[in-house]
Structure 1
Amino acid sequence: MSVERTRSYRGISVRAALGYLENVGGERVDGQDRVEGDGWSATLSSEKVSVGPSMKLTEVTVEFEGESAETLDPVIERFSQKAIRAGG
């Protein structure tokens, strides 16, 4: 049974997010904004979002997929700690 979770993070770049995913045990898929780990994968996308009348931030969306919640949720938690700390 596959489990999917989508999370969005502001103030980080796709490049940084890829690095964080590698740090939590994943390996980047060549030429793609995708990382695969043991029993899980994550696909990234980004867009500029307005934060007030004149400011825009990059928002990175990560689509996580895993074999089970027990496999996936710890990866998301470790990644989120890195991403939120970095984004300030």
Structure 2
Amino acid sequence: MTREQAINYLTNLGGTRQNDHLVTGDGWKATLSTQQEPVGPSYRLTEVTITWVGPPDIVEPVIQRFRLKAFRAPG
């Protein structure tokens, strides 16, 4: 999944895109970062990491819904 896809999923879950690395929702914040990871001698994948901030009772349901969307993602 690309960072852009992750941002789209988060906005579909009620978040508001603040910039290319931050999506905020009602009581939660998701910060996205990317890093190139080597796969074999000549290929690199872009890894997207999301850091979640907010009370567990608010963040946990958003994470669960995000996981379902990400799991069904094509690719």
What range describes the TM-score normalised by the shorter chain of this pair?
0.7 to 0.9
2:34 counterpart residue number: 46
State the shift of 1:82 in Å: 1.3
- Give the secondary-structure state (helix, strand or coil) at the position aligned to 2:57: helix
SS at match of 1:86: coil
Aligned to 1:9: none
Matches for 1:2-81 after TM superposition, within 5 Å: 12-29=1-18, 31-66=19-54, 68-81=55-68
**RMSD between superposed Cα atoms in Å:** 1.6
Q: Residue 48 of structure 1: SS of its match in structure 2? A: strand
**Gapped runs of 5+ residues in structure 2?**
none
What is the CA–CA distance in structure 1 between the aligned matches of 2:72 and 2:35, rounded to whole Å? 20
Q: Residues 51, 13 of structure 1: CA spacing in aligned structure 2 closer, same or farther, 3 A cutoff?
A: same
Normalised by the size of structure 2, how large is the TM-score? 0.86
In the alignment of these two chains, the number of paired residues is 75
Q: Work out the CA distance in 2 between the residues paired with 1:50 and 1:78.
A: 29
Which deviates further from its counterpart, 70-79 or 52-61? 52-61
What is the one-letter code of the residue matched to 1:73?
E
Q: What TM-score does the superposition give when structure 1 sets the normalisation length?
A: 0.75
